[in-house]
Structure 1
Amino acid sequence: MASASLEITPTLRALLDRSALGLRLISRESDLADGALDRTLRWVHTTDLADPTPFLTDDLLLLTTGTQFATGTAQEAESYVQRITSRGVAALGFGTEVVRDGVPPALAAACARAALPLFEVPYRTPFIAIARANAEAVAAQAYARRSWALDAQRAISLAALRPDGLGATVAELAKQLGAWVALFDAAGTMTRESPAGALTDTMRAALDDEVTAVLSRGARAGSALSIAGQPFTLQTLGRGGHLRGVIAIASTELDQEGRSVVTSVIAMAGLALEQHQSLGRSRAALRAGLIDALHANHTSFVRRVVRSSGDALPPAPVMVAVAKAPQRLDAVTEWLELRGAESRGSVFFGRHEGDLVVIIPATARERLAAFAARFDLHIGHSDATDYDTFAEALAQARLARDRGSSGVTAFADTHSAGVLGTLSEESRLVAQRVLAPLAAVDERDGSDLMHTLRTYLECNGSAESTATALGVHRHTVRARVKAAERALGLRLDTFPARAELWAAFQASPA
C-alpha cells in the first residue's frame, strides 16, 4: 500500500523511489529544507538554455543535459542556480553521459549552497519518461482527490440525516478534513465543535472575537486568519444581511476538492438553519402571545402552554427586563434560546408592543449586563416581582429603560429621585410655559420674582422665613408674591396652587 501511495504522489521523493527510472539523488537530504523532497511538482520541463527563466513556473522540476555550461566554472554554475531558484524551480535533474560524464562538481556545490535538490538522470532514462511518470502521478492524485470528495460528500449527506444533523455534519466534516471544525450561530456563539476542546482558551477567545466581527459586518464572505500560528478558515452561512452563522475550520487554504466538500456542508447547514429560522418565527409568535397573556394576568394558562412545550417559566420572584427590539433580533433570539436550553426555566422571552421582553430569576441580574454588552442594548428592568403583578413590572422596566442612558438601568434607580424626578420632557415644556410670565417680568423690570417665589415655596409659604433666607424685609417678600400672583393669574394661599407651581419649578431646567 505504501508504494501505491507514493506512485500517485507527484513529488521528487516519489520519482526517486521508482526504481525503473534509476534516478540518484546527488544532494544530501540533510542539506535541504524540510519537505524539499516532498514538495508537489506541478510539471516537468526540459531545457539546456543558459537562462530559461522566461519559460519557467513555480513548483517545476527542471531537466537538463548541461550543454549550457560552456566554461564549467563555479561562477557560471552559481549564476545558473540563482536564476532558476528565483523562479521557484523545485528541483534540478542532470542527464549524464549525454554531453558530460557525471554531474559537474561546480553545479553540485552551487545547488548545495542554494538548498536546491539535485539528482542524476542516467543515460538509459529518457527525460520524457520522467515527465510521463510525474504526469501520471498528477492525474492519479487528482482522481484520488475527486474520489475522496465524492466519498466525503456522501458520508456528510448521510450524517445530515441523523437526529442531530448539524452536529453529525460538523463531526463528519472534521473527520474527512482531518481538522478541527466548529459551527457558530448567528449570535457568534459556538454551538458545536469537533474534536471537542481542541483549542486553547486564548485561541478560542480570539476566534470568538473574529467570528463576532464577521457576523456584525453582515456580509456573506469567506476569510482566513492565523491565531497563535494556527491558520483558520471562516465561511459564513446564510445570505447577506441575514447571516445564520459561521463555520470555522482549523486548516490552511483548502484545495479545490476540499473547498467543494466544505461548500456542500455550507449548503446543507444553511438550509438546516433557514428551516430552523422558519420554525423560530413560529416560536416567536407563540412567545409573543404568551407575553400578552402574562400581561393580561393569565398566568395559569401560560404555565400550561410552556410546560406542554417542554420548557418552564423562571421561578418567582422574577425580574422583568425590556429592551428595544434590536436589528439583529435573530441573533439575540438564538442566544437567549441557547441560554434557556442550557438551564430549563432560567429565562423566558418574547416580543411585546415592539419591545423585547426578558424574564429571569430575580437573583440573576448579572445576566442582563452580559446580554446588554454582547448586543449593545439598553435594558431596563423591574423590581423583583411575582407573575400576578407582571403588567406593573413590565411598566417599571419600560420606565427604567426610557429613563436610563445606557447599559442596564434598574427601576429602583429611577424612582429614587421621587415622583417629580420622573417627569417627562413634555412636563418640562409645560413647566417652562407656566413660569414664562415670571421670567418675562424679571427680564422687563429687573425684579427677582422667580428666585423669590421658589424660596417662598421652599419655606412653606412663610414670608418671615423667606425674608430671612433672602436677606430682605418681609414686606418686600409679600409685595413680590403679590406681583407673582398677578403675573401668573392665580392665588398662592391654597395648597393645590402651591403644589402646581412647585412641580413646575422642579420640572423646569432653569
Structure 2
Amino acid sequence: MTTTSASRPAAPPEPALSVRQVLTLERVLAGEPEVVAGAGGLDRAVRWVHVAEAADVGVMLTGGEMVLTTGVLLAGDETRQAEYIRSLHRAEAAAVVLGLGRAFPAPPEVMRRAAERCGLPLVVLHRPFPFAELTEEVQSRLVRRKFAAVSLSEAVRTDLTALITAGAPLQRLLDEVARHSACPVVLTNLAHRVLATAGERSAVDDVLRDWERVARQAGGGALDAWISAELGGRGERWGRLLLCGYRGEAATGRLLADRAAEALVLHRMLGGSALSWEEQSAQSLLTDLVSGVVPARQLLPRARAAGLPVNLRTFVPLVVPDAAPAVLDRLLRVLGLSGLAAELADGVTAVLLSLPRDRPADALTALFAARLREGTGRPDAVVAAADPHTVWEEVPAGLREARHVAEAVTGSSAALGLPAVVRLKDVHLRGLVRLLRENPHVQSFAERELDGLLCRAEPELLEVLRTYLATGRNKSRTARLHHVSRPALYRRLEAIQGRLGVDLDDFEQAASVHIALLAHDAQQR
C-alpha cells in the first residue's frame, strides 16, 4: 500500500504571510513598528494590504486585510476612534497599522483599549514610513504565493491526468499526490476504513497507529493541518481523501486535495482496475503479509485501519482454490465473521479470519467450508487451512502454509476424497513433492521415470496412469472413471508398463512412478 516515490518530494508552498511575518520584513522594520494591542492575533494570515483613511473603511473590507492609516480623519474624536477599531474587527481585518505623526504623535489610548478588547492587532510606526513600499512588498509576496498555489494545482492535475491516461493503478496516483503534498495521504471509505495510503512509510505508520480515533476527528475538521476532500459522483459520496499533517498554507492544501479528489473520482469512473478499491486494499495487505517483504509488525497498523480486528484475536489463515474473493467476502458477511478476502498475486484467493479468542476456530473454519460447498454447488470445493494463531507475527507463515496446502491439492481433491477443510497433515507425500518441485534432482528424476510416456506425447496414457495410481491401483474404478472396459484398461496398462519399462504390480516400482508423476504435475502447475 505504501510506497516511496523515486522522484524527489515536492515541497509545499510557504504559508501565507502572517501579521508577525509582515512586521519582520526589512522595509517594515525601518518604520520601527511596535505592537501596542492584540498581540495574541499576530499569527493571523494577511490576505491583502489596504491603505485607507476613510473612517468607515470597515464596509469596504472582505476579511484578512492589513489596513494602513495615518488616522488623520480620526484625530480629536474618541468615539470615531473606538468605532473605527470595532468596524475593522467586524470586517475580520487581520491588523491595523497606524503611522504616528501630526494626527497621532503617540499611540491613541482609546484605539489601543478597543483593539485589545477585540483582539485586533494594533501596530504603530514610530518613524515616517512610505506606505507604498509596504503594500508593494507584501502584495508582491502574496501574488507569488497565489501563483505558486495555482501552479501546484495545475501540476497536480496534469500529472494525475497523465497517469490515468496511461492506465496507472490507484496506488501510483496516491504516490504522486504524496509527492506533491509532502505528507502522508490516506484514502478511506465513508466508514473510515483505510483503503490505501501513500507517503513515507514511518510517517504513514504514525498516522495509522490510532486510526479509529483520529479518523473521526479528522473527518470533522478537528485536527489542524489535516485536509479532507470528499469523493463521490452523481449525487453520491463513497470515500474521502486525507492529507495528514500538510505543512503548507491551508488554502493551497485544500486546492491540492480537491485536484487529487477529482482525479481519483475520474480514475474510479473509468474503471482503472477490475477490482474495487476495497478489494485492492485487502489484496495489497494480504500479498504483503504472504511475501514477507514487510515485517508483520509494520503491517499491523494497516490491518487495524483496514477494519480487521487485531486485539486479542485468533487468526485463521485460509486459501481457497478456484473461488472469487467477492464470493468469499459475501460468505464472511453472511456468517457474521470478521476477515479479509483477496486474490493473491499468484492467482489463488486467501482469506484471513479474525475471531474472538473464546470462539472455536476449527468449528468455524469447518462451517465456512461447508457453507462454501453449499453456496457454490461444488461438493468437491476445499478450503486449505493453517493452524489458528493468536500471535500476529505468525500470520505470514500461516498464510504461506495454507497456500502450500492449496497448491498440493489443486486439481486432485475429487480423486483423493479430501475433506472440506484440508490441512498440512492431509496432503502427505503430495505436499512434500510440491515443496521440492524446484529441486533439479527431483525434476531430473521425474523426467527419467516418465520419459517413455512424455517423449511420445501420449496424454491419454498419462491420464490413465495418473488415475490408476491415485485410486490405489484399483483397476475397476479406473476403468469406470475412464469409461472403458476392463480388457481395454488392461491393454493400456500393458502399454504404459512397456513404455516405462516397469512392473506396476511391484509396489516399489509403482511408488517410484507415482512420485515422479506427482513431481511432474507439480512442476507443470
**TM-score interval (norm. to shorter):** 0.3 to 0.5
Question: TM-score, normalization: structure 2?
Answer: 0.45
Higher relative contact order (CA 8 A, sep 6+): 2
Task: Please report the TM-score for the alignment, with normalisation by the length of structure 1.
Answer: 0.46
